[in-house]
Chains A and B, each alone.
Chain A
Amino acid sequence: MLDLYGQKLSSRLLLGTALYPSPAVMAEAVKASGAEIVTVSLRRETCGGKAGGQFWSLVQSLGVRVLPNTAGCHSVEEAVTTARMAREVFGTNWIKLEVIGNHDTLQPDVFGLVDAARILVPEGFEVFPYTTDDLVVAGRLLDAGCRLLMPWCAPIGSARGPQNLDALRSLRGHFPGVPLIVDAGIGRPSHAAIVMELGYDAVLLNTAVAKAGDSVAMAAAFGKAVEAGHEAYGAGLLEPRDMAVPSTTLIGMAAFL
């Protein structure tokens, strides 16, 4: 089973709750995916607390764990304050820590990310850092007290899929006991299967399901792909070969000439 900060989980898919055609579709997609963790955020309340209350009631009715994010924060101070407010509202020490460094690529500011983690971990937060696939940064995050890593595989919402398999493989190789979750950039179930086949522990995605023609069907498809990739990794994959190798034996072939 997947173990994230001591929580045992059957599903290896984490799902975002944004961008769906409707709240009802979001709820159905979460159920269809089998996800046991969904990401949520905090935003300014505009109608006396009612909009946030409705959304929160719906999420609570799903019976899943929530992983609040600090999405949109561009400074350490913003991210730390948002994390503290999220803990107050959602009643969890879990925080998906995002410190964005670039408006166009939504690339994490890895320096700010490490700084924010150093502040939050001693306060009892269990940090899920949204980071790049940089090996040295990953080490710094673990030094800061993060006990799992969430590297991107492509920019958020880009649907490009894994852009640097070598880097993802390297992270897996260097940190064998650390839960690794690919967060961001997954566009289709085959992308999810690819990173799971590398030995990643889980996948976090949102847009690929929310913006699919049929979010609920796509959520189910991602659930299967993640499971298939994980099982394949455990089963031991055949490495590619340069030459053809017949699968049917040549011994005992008939001689017609």
Chain B
Amino acid sequence: MKLIVNGQGHEVAAETLAALLTELDFQGGWLATALNGEVVPARERGRCRLTEGDRIEILAPMKGG
């Protein structure tokens, strides 16, 4: 299905957010995720089902002021 991940279109097989992270090779306990503007905690990613056109944000720690 087609998803928007960090603003970019992706065609993926993953049906859950956890599977999406694996499929796109995102690793690390320091990642934060949101689905259509709502935060999805790490422990809920396995149960978080994706549907066509979903917008996913995958964020990581970065330098800041």
Between B33, B38, B62, the greatest number of chain A beta carbons within 10 A of the residue's beta carbon is seen for B62
A51, A89, A206: the one within 8 Å of B65 (CB): A206
Interface size on A, residues (CB 8 A): 37
In the complex with contacts A18-B65, A49-B28, A52-B28, A85-B34 CB distance below 8 A: yes
Q: Give a binary string over A200-234; 1 marks a CB under 8 Å from any B CB, 0 the rest.
A: 00000011000000000000000000000000000
Q: Collect the chain B residues with CB atoms within 8 Å of residue A90's CB.
A: 61
Tell yes or no: B51 within 8 A of A by CB. no
Q: CA–CA, A84 to B39, complex, Å?
A: 7
Q: Let me know if A85 and B63 touch, CB within 8 A.
A: no
Tell yes or no: B60 within 8 A of A by CB. yes
B6, B41, B42, B65: the one within 8 Å of A156 (CB): B65
Q: Collect the chain B residues with CB atoms within 8 Å of residue A207's CB.
A: 65
Q: Let me know if A81 and B64 touch, CB within 8 A.
A: no
In the complex with contacts A81-B34, A88-B39, A89-B31, A71-B64 CB distance below 8 A: yes
Q: Let me know if A56 and B7 touch, CB within 8 A.
A: no
In the complex with contacts A81-B39, A84-B39, A88-B41, A45-B31 CB distance below 8 A: yes
Closest Cβ of chain A: how far from B26's Cβ, in Å?
Answer: 5
Q: Let me know if B39 and A42 touch, CB within 8 A.
A: no
Closest Cβ of chain B: how far from A184's Cβ, in Å?
Answer: 8
Q: CA–CA, A39 to B62, complex, Å?
A: 10
Q: CA–CA, A50 to B7, complex, Å?
A: 19
CB neighbors of A among B39-64 (8 A): 39, 41-42, 57-64
Closest Cβ of chain A: how far from B18's Cβ, in Å?
Answer: 14
Q: CA–CA, A48 to B25, complex, Å?
A: 5
CB neighbors of B among A57-90 (8 A): 59, 68-69, 71, 77, 81, 84-86, 88-90
Q: Which 8 A-B pairs have the closest CB atoms?
A: A52-B60, A41-B64, A16-B65, A206-B65, A85-B32, A45-B60, A49-B28, A43-B62
21 contacts between A and B (CB under 8 A): A18-B65, A39-B65, A42-B59, A42-B62, A45-B58, A48-B24, A49-B28, A49-B30, A49-B60, A51-B60, A52-B30, A52-B31, A52-B62, A56-B60, A69-B64, A85-B32, A85-B34, A88-B42, A89-B30, A90-B61, A156-B65
